[in-house]
A and B are shown apart, each in its own frame.
Chain A
Amino acid sequence: MKKTVMLIDDEVDFCYFLKKNLELTGEFAVETSNDGEDGIRKIKLHHPDVILLDIMMPGLSGPDVAAELKNDESTRNIPVVFSTAIIQEQEINQKKNVIGGWHYIAKPIEMDKLLVLLRQLTK
């Protein structure tokens, strides 16, 4: 059974290749959205197994989206992986506790690392 990944990122081409790469593994089905509001709508529609959420987006930012999901009983327990172009992995590890147990991965994303994380979260 394929796991569903919800990918929210304003970079259209980033979504395009990430979707392709994840689907190539045969393990994941990927839904994409290019802004926060649309992303929330699609999450409520598709109930993905895991969400990959960009932090810096126009309109609703990644944390805004995450807060919205926390408020909703149906989406509260879906694991979220923040992706960011700014924070380095080393720092992410240091700040894990501060940002409340969510997961982070730095752009550019290396597939090997992402896959390890996604497999673990969708087990």
Chain B
Amino acid sequence: MAKERILVVDDEKVIRELLKKSFEFWGYFCEIAQDGNEALEKTKKAGFYNLLITDLKMPNLGGIEVLKEIKRNNPYIEVIVLTGYPTVGSAVEALKIGASDYLSKPFDLEKMHQTVEKCLERQKFNIRHIELSELMSLFEVSRIIAATTGFDQLLAKIIDSALEITKAKNGSLLLLDESTNHLKIKVARGLSEEIINSTSILVGEGISGTVAKERKALTGSIEEFAKLHKDPSQRHESKISSEPTFVSIPLESQNRILGVINISDKLSGESFTEREQTLLSILAGQAAVAIENAKLYGELHEKILDLKETVEMLNQAQTQLIQSEKLAALGRFSSGIAHEVKNPLAIILGGIEFLENRLVNVDEDCRTALTKMKESTLRANNILLNLLKFARPSELKIERIKPEELISDTINLFKYRAPVRGINILSEFTDNSLILEVDKNQIQQVLFNLFSNATDAMPGGGEIRIRAYKSQKPEEFLMGTIPAAVLEFRDTGEGISPENLKRLFEPFFTTKRDRKGTGLGLSMSKKIVDNHKGKMFIESELGKGTTIKILLPLAQQEEKV
């Protein structure tokens, strides 16, 4: 075990030499200083002393000042104050600023020995206590690190803990990018943003690179390292200075190097102690495990997100399957039922027409009744016709047509009705080169449905805007990359609630049951657009209106007339 180190400061040569001889005789290591300045000089050079014995009254720097100064850098030092002219005031002050004991001159050497032993005993106890609390804080830090899962937060926590344990100002944590074999700063304290972003160190180069390569901690002064670094023969020395101002420690987990922690510049300006380096190594071990775990956690998290996406896609596929299953069932059902229902309808219609012909001279009321019956019969028939369209989608009669042409017929049909309802129809066809390849009749049926829905959504009047243009946004391309013609249909109606929006294309879903809605218009429109290998989507906001976009295939370029 190393000898305990004692520094004696006394302006009386006889006393300090007597004490030095006595202490060395008792087995201590002792140095002497003749005044305060020399004492401070000595502590700066030699570093740690266990015990300071100082005269209170000295020229230049008095004992109290010396004590204050030394305590600032070494809070664990024990101090015994000596004085030939004791006053209660100075004694109290010395004890106040941390002197452990007080001896007046002339002193009994035996008493001195006892006092010194008592002080050193107490120091041992204190240091053990301090070590314990350091371990406790390390334990606490480990616990916090283990509980931190956010990767960036974890790295920040590690570097802050490292600085706390070592009471240092500056620090950085570098992680190894295995693909490039370079270390990059992930988090730092006391470094400029520019350095953080620009630093990239090849493994084997510089302090951090050497630590990562050798997987051994490196301590020393940066200047010294720089000097040694030029001489490769000395590069493998892990210790390059007895007064380390930086510590660089590898982060290793399961024999794999993850990165490096660098710590420098103690707050006190002192060098790093062995103890601090040990604590830092322990921390680095914990940190490496935590980093590895966080990485795994991140990967797991990504996998979970992937999985969620897959589940989401499956759900969507399932919904679509149910939807098309529904349509198929509806198809089978409707062709079966159509025959059964249409025959009675034919009989009813025949009967009504018979009565119309026979009752030539009946009054207006009877005639109105017959007309209404006939209209209703034909409407029932129309519903059946719509159902049958699901059952057997008719073949597409594809032709090349400009969107303007396609839409104008439908617009004309509505133009007569629109102004009455206070509805303004605006159309915009700027791109003259757009030519579609579609079944005109079927797409016009879709447009007719959209116009009907829009006018129904604007009982108090409003505006319908129709635009046709070539795909611009990513979602406006077919199969992700194929440019399409976009027919955009925008109304200023009452909008659609999010719940209803989800069910919009469901057959028989209608919000207009009271207004003779069949719930087939949009589902059929969607089916027609799907048959064209197009796409149809709806955005809506309650109270603001609805925008429907229909993506339809463009005519092939070379066939353009």
Q: Which of A17, A20, A91 has the most chain B CB atoms inside 10 A of its CB? A: A17
Instruction: Please state if A17 and B388 are interface contacts (CB–CB under 8 Å).
Output: no
Contact of A90 among B346, B357, B378, B394 (CB under 8 A): B394
Q: How far is the CA of A75 from the CA of B385 in the complex (A)?
A: 34
Shortest Cβ distance from B277 into chain A, in angstroms?
90
A60 within 8 A of B: no
A108 within 8 A of B: yes
Contact of A107 among B343, B389, B392 (CB under 8 A): B343
Residue of A nearest to B391 (CB): A86
Instruction: Please state if B339 and A56 are interface contacts (CB–CB under 8 Å).
Output: yes
Please indicate the chain A residues that have their CB under 8 angstroms from the CB of B343 in the complex: 11, 14, 85, 107
Known interface pairs A17-B354, A21-B357, A88-B385. Does A108 touch B335 (Cβ–Cβ under 8 Å)?
A: no
Please indicate the chain A residues that have their CB under 8 angstroms from the CB of B358 in the complex: 24
Instruction: Please state if B353 and A107 are interface contacts (CB–CB under 8 Å).
Output: no
Contact of B349 among A86, A88, A90, A108 (CB under 8 A): A108
Shortest Cβ distance from A106 into chain B, in angstroms?
8
Please indicate the chain B residues that have their CB under 8 angstroms from the CB of A85 in the complex: 338-339, 342-343, 346
Q: Which of A14, A16, A90 has the most chain B CB atoms inside 10 A of its CB? A: A14
Known interface pairs A20-B354, A86-B388, A108-B342. Does A13 touch B394 (Cβ–Cβ under 8 Å)?
A: no
Q: Which of B345, B354, B441 has the most chain A CB atoms inside 10 A of its CB? A: B354
Known interface pairs A86-B388, A90-B394, A91-B394. Does A109 touch B354 (Cβ–Cβ under 8 Å)?
A: no
Contact of A18 among B342, B350, B397 (CB under 8 A): B350
Shortest Cβ distance from B395 into chain A, in angstroms?
7
Residue of B nearest to A11 (CB): B343
Residue of A nearest to B342 (CB): A85
Residue of B nearest to A18 (CB): B350
Please indicate the chain B residues that have their CB under 8 angstroms from the CB of A109 in the complex: 346, 349-350
A97 within 8 A of B: no
Known interface pairs A86-B388, A107-B342. Does A94 touch B395 (Cβ–Cβ under 8 Å)?
A: yes
Shortest Cβ distance from B138 into chain A, in angstroms?
84
Shortest Cβ distance from A31 into chain B, in angstroms?
17
Interface bin, chain A: 20 to 34
Could you give, for residues 9-45 of chain A, a 1 whenever the CB lies within 8 Å of some chain B CB and a 0 otherwise? 0010110111011001000000000000000000000
B50 within 8 A of A: no
Q: How far is the CA of A20 from the CA of B347 in the complex (A)?
A: 12
Contact of B338 among A16, A86, A91, A94 (CB under 8 A): A86
Shortest Cβ distance from A25 into chain B, in angstroms?
8
Please indicate the chain B residues that have their CB under 8 angstroms from the CB of A72 in the complex: none
Q: Which of A13, A14, A108 has the most chain B CB atoms inside 10 A of its CB? A: A108
Q: Which of A62-101 contact B (CB under 8 A)?
A: 85-86, 88, 90-91, 94
Instruction: Please state if A108 and B354 are interface contacts (CB–CB under 8 Å).
Output: no
Please indicate the chain B residues that have their CB under 8 angstroms from the CB of A56 in the complex: 339
Q: How far is the CA of A14 from the CA of B344 in the complex (A)?
A: 8
Known interface pairs A14-B347, A108-B349. Does A88 touch B354 (Cβ–Cβ under 8 Å)?
A: no
Please indicate the chain B residues that have their CB under 8 angstroms from the CB of A11 in the complex: 343, 346-347
Known interface pairs A56-B339, A86-B388, A88-B388. Does A14 touch B354 (Cβ–Cβ under 8 Å)?
A: no
Give residues in B with beta carbon < 8 Å to A: 335, 338-339, 342-343, 345-351, 353-354, 357-358, 377-378, 381, 385, 388-389, 392, 394-395, 397, 441
Q: A86-B342, A107-B342, A111-B353 are in contact. List 15 more A-B contacts (CB 8 A).
A: A14-B347, A14-B350, A17-B347, A17-B351, A17-B353, A17-B354, A18-B350, A85-B339, A86-B335, A91-B392, A94-B394, A107-B346, A108-B345, A108-B346, A110-B353
